[in-house]
């Protein structure tokens, strides 16, 4: 497995497909994301406040994740792995790649908002819960 930053647009559609599957997006969400993919990639590719990472197995994108840089720490965001590649260390490799960037930048802390699937992996890697975030969604349409 290799990790790389998402430096060319050619990797973007494959990264997007993995994310669509991992996050179980609806067709209308996928259509909108596909439509704006090039514009979104162009906007963020040179943004100094963060980077996108991809994981490759046999030259195929099987995972992706983001890093947001702040003075207080590095935010690990959007980590996801294709269903067929899970259980093979892809998520851990994406965490490690971003961790290495944090160390190289002299970042004092790593922060992540973890869901059910990533929380156990992150805890095994030494992360600990410092707060709980509760999301409230108003589906009433009001």
| Statement: residue 37 has pLDDT above 80 | no
Overall average pLDDT of the 61-71 stretch: 90
Report helix angle 12-22 to 37-45, nearest 10.
Answer: 110
Angstrom distance (rounded) from CA 52 to CA 50? 7
Place of tokens 């975030």: 133
Question: Domain 2-124 in CATH: superfamily?
Answer: Gcn5-related N-acetyltransferase (GNAT) (3.40.630.30)
**Sequence ranges of the domains in the chain:** 2-124
Q: What is the pTM of this model?
A: 0.76
pLDDT band, very low/low/confident/very high, at 6 (cuts 50, 70, 90): low
């Amino acid at each position: 497995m290799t990790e790389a930053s998402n430096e060319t647009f050619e990797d973007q559609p494959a990264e997007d497909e993995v994310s669509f599957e991992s996050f179980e997006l609806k067709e209308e969400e996928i259509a909108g994301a596909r439509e704006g993919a090039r514009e979104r990639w162009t906007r963020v590719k040179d943004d100094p406040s963060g980077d996108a990472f991809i994981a490759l197995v046999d030259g195929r994108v099987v995972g992706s994740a983001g890093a947001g840089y702040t003075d207080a720490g590095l935010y690990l965001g959007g980590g996801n792995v294709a269903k067929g590649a899970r259980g093979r260390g892809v998520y851990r490799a994406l965490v490690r790649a971003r961790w290495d960037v944090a160390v190289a930048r002299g970042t004092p802390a790593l922060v992540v908002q973890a869901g059910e699937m990533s929380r156990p992996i992150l805890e095994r890697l030494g992360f600990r819960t410092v707060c709980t975030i509760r999301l409230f969604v108003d589906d009433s349409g009001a």
